[in-house]
Amino acid sequence: MTKALYPGTFDPITLGHIDLIERAHNLFDEVIIAVATSMSKKPAFEPEERVLQIKEIFKDTRGIKVIGFSGLLVDLARDQESTILVRGLRAVSDFEYEFQLASMNRAMMPELESIFLTPKAKYSFLSSTLVREIASMGGDVSPFVDPLIQEALKLRFKK
């Protein structure tokens, strides 16, 4: 059974993330969505909330598991018995950071392979940061997120 890890903060999960998860799900037997605790970002949702949101979105999809984590990704990969890491690349600007991250992970865990997927063109500009910013100003985020997330953002940034 081939297990792939897809780590991220997913604050919030966007349609771009969902696109990558669905495509990874077509490639691997199991996709483990690993929701990271972020110390550096100012999250709209607590890690536990993000895990529950993503579980709800994929509740009817076999082969997708959602977990929270903090700490080193290589430790999580070992714990989950996965040697495949899925990462998304939206633009050339993402490549340098992702290349550095993949190289560092490989130095710590040589058997961990990073697989890069690009989103559909209509999601190539999309980021959680932009979605949070639009939502915080009362803007319509419906083209960018699942309806469940849209509602959660409305409640979070209610003015």
Report pLDDT digits (tens) over 73-111: 999 999 999 999 999 998 777 888 899 999 999 999 999
Please name which of 20, 7, 3, 13 lies closest in space to residue 90, comparing C-alpha atoms: 20
CA angle 152, 20, 125 (to 5 degrees): 75
Q: What is the pLDDT of residue 39?
A: 64
Query: Quick one: tokens of 16?
Result: 């771009």
Q: How far is Cα 36 from Cα 135, in angstroms, rounded to an integer?
A: 21
Q: How far is Cα 9 from Cα 7, in angstroms, rounded to an integer?
A: 7
65-78 mean pLDDT: 96
Contact criterion met (CB below 8 Å) for 115 and 87: yes
Q: How far is Cα 48 from Cα 71, in angstroms, rounded to an integer?
A: 16
Q: What is the pLDDT of residue 43?
A: 86
Report pLDDT digits (tens) over 10-60: 999 999 999 999 999 999 999 999 999 976 767 899 999 999 999 999 999
Whole-prediction pTM value? 0.94
Contact criterion met (CB below 8 Å) for 57 and 19: no
CATH architecture, domain 3-124: 3-Layer(aba) Sandwich (3.40)
Catalytic residues: 17, 41, 90, 128
